[in-house]
């Protein structure tokens, strides 16, 4: 197989900070999803605990707390197993993560009653985690590109517990070598739809 060209992740220095109509908290404006990660970086136990605590204290419907997490640090068999379940494009760079966190939602309660907001709540817990990570100087890149059945089997999950994303946790490294196409994305400004395009209209009377 041809080895893709590799380039340093930083490229030209273009700010990734969100361009906002009014100033935002720097933890929100500064968060982004890098692929260039320091393959030698180790998460401390305190950092990992802080991220999971941030998720744990998220709000949820009826306080059901449907989020579930499985953590694997780089160098462990669990990490290798999750990495192998990632989509090929994600495997190109995610191997340098300091840890993976598989995030799943428990979509039914102990009595079998469906939890309609389980996925919403779990996304919200991850959002909290990403802000705490920014505070800790860590990067989070969420991945939906992975084999859910394979990860569910790895964790021996019951059918109501649904894997949603794999989080790559690590420290950004602008010098990390990446395939050319991915390296270019590390230095392009972040884009969003205009705020106006997100607003819906309620009846005036």
Ligand X SMILES: Cc1cc2nc3c(=O)[nH]c(=O)nc-3n(C[C@H](O)[C@H](O)[C@H](O)COP(=O)(O)O)c2cc1C
Task: Report the residue from 9, 32, 85, 102 that binds ligand X according to the rule CB under 6 A.
Answer: 32
* Residue (32 or 79) nearer to ligand X, CB: 32
Task: Report the residue from 37, 54, 139, 143 that binds ligand X according to the rule CB under 6 A.
Answer: 143
Between β-strands 6-8 and 177-179, what pairing exists: parallel, antiparallel or unpaired? antiparallel
Cα separation of 39 and 148, whole Å?
25
Question: Does residue 151 touch ligand X according to CB under 6 A?
Answer: no
Question: In 42-117, which ranges are continuous DSSP H helix?
Answer: 45-56, 77-85, 88-94
Query: Could you give the string, one character per residue 49-88, with x where binding to ligand X holds by CB under 6 A and - elsewhere?
Result: ----------------------------------------
Query: Could you give the string, one character per residue 90-109, with x where binding to ligand X holds by CB under 6 A and - elsewhere?
Result: x-------------------
Cα separation of 190 and 205, whole Å?
38
Q: Which residues contact 35 (CB under 8 A, 6 or more apart)?
A: 9, 93, 94, 141, 176, 178, 182, 185, 186
Question: Does residue 26 touch ligand X according to CB under 6 A?
Answer: no
Which residues lie near ligand X (CB under 6 A)? 32-33, 90, 142-145, 165, 190
């Amino acid at each position: 197989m041809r080895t893709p060209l590799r380039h340093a992740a930083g490229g030209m220095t273009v700010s990734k900070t969100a361009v906002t109509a009014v100033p935002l908290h720097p933890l929100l404006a500064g968060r982004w999803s890098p692929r260039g990660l320091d393959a030698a970086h180790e998460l401390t136990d305190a950092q990992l605990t802080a991220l999971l605590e941030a998720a744990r204290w998220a709000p949820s419907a009826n306080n059901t707390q449907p989020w579930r997490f499985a953590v694997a640090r780089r160098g462990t068999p669990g990490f290798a197993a999750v990495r192998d379940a990632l989509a090929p494009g994600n495997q190109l760079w995610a191997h340098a993560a300091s840890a993976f966190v598989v995030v799943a939602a428990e979509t039914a309660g102990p009595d079998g009653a469906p939890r309609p907001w389980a996925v919403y709540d779990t996304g919200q817990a991850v959002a909290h985690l990403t802000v705490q990570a920014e505070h800790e100087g860590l990067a989070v890149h969420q991945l939906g590109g992975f084999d859910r059945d394979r990860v569910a089997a790895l964790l021996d999950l019951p059918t109501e517990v649904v894997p949603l994303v794999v989080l790559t946790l690590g420290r950004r490294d602008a010098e990390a070598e990446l395939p050319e196409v991915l390296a270019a994305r590390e230095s392009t400004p972040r884009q969003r739809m205009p705020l106006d395009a997100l607003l819906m209209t309620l009846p005036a009377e």
